[in-house]
Amino acid sequence: MQFSATSDAHVYEWLFDMRLILTLLAFLLSSIGFAWSQPGSSQNAEDVQKGHALAIKVCAVCHIAAPDQPSKPMLTPPAPAFALIVRQEAFDAESLTHFLATTHRGLDNPKGMPNVDLADYQIKEIVAYFLRLYK
């Protein structure tokens, strides 16, 4: 199959147009994701509420996760309170997301926090809760 110079030019133009369209689409999708993660968005407010409920259900077993949690932590002494964690200088959404997604207990750290195996959406909710209530 042979292409003429004009058809080759059309193919290259088409490829350039597709690359431009895909670049713009990627930018648009990343902008939407960024907007959803902003504190004022309704999606974030829902994440904060779900993160609060999840923190009370899962995290409050070891931490003081919320001022309104129904019972004190079972761990004695309790793990660091959320209010203290967020006041650490190195605290930010990225570091908390990474921390929650990895295992912390091992032979080198037998008393470290166990990996509670949270789904990505649950981590996002807990991070939103941290950022909103303790910023």
pLDDT per position in the chain (135 positions), as tens? 554 555 555 555 655 565 656 555 555 455 455 444 454 455 589 999 999 999 999 999 999 999 999 999 998 899 999 989 888 888 889 999 998 998 788 888 888 888 888 999 999 999 999 988 766
Topology, domain 42-134: Cytochrome Bc1 Complex; Chain D, domain 2 (1.10.760)
Separation CA 123–CA 51 (nearest Å): 8
This prediction has a pTM of 0.64
Q: Which amino acid is at 5?
A: A
Q: What residues does each domain of the chain span?
A: 1-36, 42-134
**What is the number of other CB atoms lying within 10 angstroms of the CB of residue 91?**
17
Are the C-beta atoms of 64 and 73 separated by less than 8 Å?
Answer: yes
Separation CA 82–CA 133 (nearest Å): 10
Element (H, E) at 22: helix 5-36
- Residues composing the chain: 135
